[in-house]
Amino acid sequence: MEHFKIKPEVYFNNGALEYLTMVNKTKALVITDPFMIEVGFSEQLLNILKNSVSDCTLFSNIKPDPPIDIVADGVKEMLRVKPDILIALGGGSTIDAAKSILWFYEKILQINGEVGYERPQFVAIPTTSGTGSEVTTFAVITMGDKKIPLVDDELLPDIAIIDPMFVKTVPPSITADTAIDALTHAIEAYVSTEASDYSDALAEKSIKLIFDYLLLAFKDGNDMHAREKLHNASCIAGMAFTNAYLGLNHSLAHALGGSFHIPHGRANAMILPHVIRYNANLESGQETQAAKRYAELSKILGLPAATVCEGVHNLVTAIKVLLAETNTPNSLRELKVDKEIFREKLDYMSEAALNDRCTATNPRTTSKEEIIELYSAIYGEKVKEEKISLVLSN
């Protein structure tokens, strides 16, 4: 028996933030980051809340790739405030932090045997168009150099507010990084071993929207129609992958981002063409199921796909065009990642990617040796055979 989750309730497009005028709560904890304060978004949010919530507290210590100590501070604030509504305002890091804070907070209350506890209403308001965290059962927190994924239905917000006003001022480079992250979510969901007719419909729509509107939003941030469409595409991709899950692309990106502090969307972007070719496995001489799925996406995008092989190649080419048009680096070498440090971390990253939870639903079963080869290609040049042998022998 298969299963498809539909949550949270989504308010979208211009004016969606007005939903908060209808809530009737006593205590709000707003989790955000310093940039949201700097640009005035947090103040705007608090002004809207003041007529519907009597007591509002701001926790604005969130950092990118939220470290466990910040999550712990947030849990302490939750225990102090005990809100009946929790609002996350920010990008994926802020929403992931809020999810984690709520999750640990509830565990502590359960352990302490809290009587009469009611879960606060959880509202997520994304300010980037990429992670889809506002509608997923996933959160990623950081411990040292490790990115730790949490997966639990309890992480799902109750309400998602997808208002494009929050992404109008996002710089072009972040617009590209986040949109390609959403594209990766949708493509991986589409070829996942857990894909279904329901997740396929969402993935297809998201992919089409991103190809249609990314370059428009990248070149003109004031194009609010394009911004709106990308913001919706990100959320739709989140709905797809929280049901179908992800694959090797994200496993590689988690380990790579943790090791070299590369923005998650940018890491996914560099990896995506390599993983599509790897999963399609055209060299095998067989038309794999993954290759057929990639070719189907080419048809949906209006690309030539008379054969499966042509469809796969044209999908990869179309993605490379997006990367080139958005000035997204193609390799780690282009990012000036030191070759020797990369080699030193290669074994650890490959082991971490192999054991990442996302790898389990990748359409092609992989090995550590193949992951090393993939990382080598992502770097931008082959790692010498003797180095590979040395790494594997360790």
Q: What is the pLDDT of residues 163-186, one digit of tens each?
A: 999 999 999 999 999 999 999 999
Q: What stretches of the chain show up as alpha helix (H) in DSSP?
A: 34-38, 41-49, 68-81, 92-111, 172-191, 197-219, 224-244, 248-260, 264-280, 289-300, 308-325, 339-355, 368-379, 385-393
Q: What is the pLDDT of residues 270-307, one digit of tens each?
A: 999 999 999 999 999 999 999 999 999 999 999 999 99
pTM of the model: 0.91
Q: Is 39 helix (H, G, I), strand (E, B) or coil?
A: coil
Q: DSSP assignment, residue 88?
A: E
Q: What is the pLDDT of residues 61-96, one digit of tens each?
A: 999 889 999 999 999 999 999 999 999 999 999 999
Percent pLDDT > 90 in the chain is: 86
Q: Which domains does the chain have, with CATH numbers?
A: 1-167 (3.40.50.1970), 179-394 (1.20.1090.10)
Which residues, 6 or more positions from 384, have their beta carbon under 8 angstroms from its beta carbon? none
Q: CA Rg, the chain, in Å?
A: 21
Does 390 score more than 70 pLDDT?
no
The rounded distance, in Å, linking the Cα atoms of 278 and 44 is 46
The rounded distance, in Å, linking the Cα atoms of 290 and 204 is 15
Does 388 score more than 50 pLDDT?
no
Tokens 């990253």 belong to which residue? Answer: 349
Lowest mean per-residue pLDDT among 133-142, 187-196, 236-245: 133-142
Tokens 């890491």 belong to which residue? Answer: 267
**Is 242 in contact with 280 (CB distance < 8 Å)?**
no
DSSP secondary structure letters along 113-175: T-TT--PPEEEEEESSSS--GGG-SEEEEEETTEEEEEE-GGG--SEEEE-GGGGTT--HHHH
Of the pLDDT bands very low, low, confident and very high (cuts 50, 70, 90), residue 160 is very high
Question: What is the average pLDDT score of the chain?
Answer: 93
For residue 392, what pLDDT is reported? Answer: 39
For residues 198-226, give the mean pLDDT: 97
Q: Give the count of beta carbons closer than 10 Å to the beta carbon of residue 190.
A: 27
Q: DSSP assignment, residue 30?
A: E
Does 198 score more than 80 pLDDT?
yes
Percent pLDDT > 70 in the chain is: 96
Does 386 score more than 60 pLDDT?
no
The rounded distance, in Å, linking the Cα atoms of 50 and 285 is 64
